[in-house]
Amino acid sequence: MDLGRSTRSQVLRALRVAFPYTVPILAGFEFLGITYGIYMHTEGFSFVYPMLMALVIFGGSLEFVVVDMLLSPFAPVSALLVALAVQARHLFYGLAMLDRYKGTGWMKPYLIFGMCDETFSIVYSTEVPEGVDRRWFMFWITLLNQFYWVSGATIGGLAGSLITFDTEGISFVMTALFVVIFVDQLLKEKVHWSAVIGGAASVACLALFGADGFTIPAMVCMVAALTLSRPRLEPQLLVDEDPDKVEVTPQ
Amino acid sequence: MTVTQQVITIAVCALGTMATRFVPFLVFGERPVPRYVTYLGKALPSATFAMLVVYCLRNVTFLSGTHGAPELIACAVTAVLHVWKRNMFLSIVGGAACYMLLIRLVF
Tens of pLDDT, residue by residue over A68-86, are 889 989 999 989 988 998 8
Q: Which of B54, B73, B98, B101 to mutate to test the interface with A (most CBs of A within 10 A)?
A: B54
Interface contact flag, A185 B95, Cβ < 8 Å: no
Q: What is the pLDDT of residues B64-74, one digit of tens each?
A: 888 999 999 99
End-to-end CA, chain A: 31
Is residue A225 scored above 70 in pLDDT? yes
Q: What is the pLDDT of residues A107-135, one digit of tens each?
A: 999 999 999 999 999 999 998 989 999 99
Percent of chain B at pLDDT above 90? 75
Percent of chain A at pLDDT above 70? 90
Interface contact flag, B58 A206, Cβ < 8 Å: yes
- Give the Cα separation of A222 and A233 in Å (integer): 13
Nearest residue, CB atoms, B49 vs list A83, A87, A178: A178
Nearest residue, CB atoms, B100 vs list A62, A169, A177: A169
pLDDT, average across residues A218-232: 95
Stretch (H or E) spanning A5? none
pLDDT at A195: 96
Interface contact flag, B9 A180, Cβ < 8 Å: no
Q: Which residue has the higher pLDDT, A4 or B101?
A: B101
Nearest residue, CB atoms, A74 vs list B1, B20, B104: B1
Is residue A154 scored above 60 in pLDDT? yes
- Give the Cα separation of A219 and A237 in Å (integer): 20
- Give the Cα separation of A219 and A39 in Å (integer): 30
Q: Which residues of B touch A121 (CB under 8 A)?
A: 49, 52
**Amino acid letter, A89:** R
Is residue A2 scored above 70 in pLDDT? no
> Is residue A126 helix, strand or coil?
coil
pLDDT at A4: 55
pLDDT, average across residues A157-179: 80
Q: Which residues of B touch A179 (CB under 8 A)?
A: 53, 75, 78-79, 82, 91, 95
CA distances from A37 to A31, A87, A146 (A): 10, 21, 15
Taking the CB of residue A181, how many other CB atoms lie within 10 A of it?
25
pLDDT at A238: 76
In A85-192, beta strands by DSSP E: none
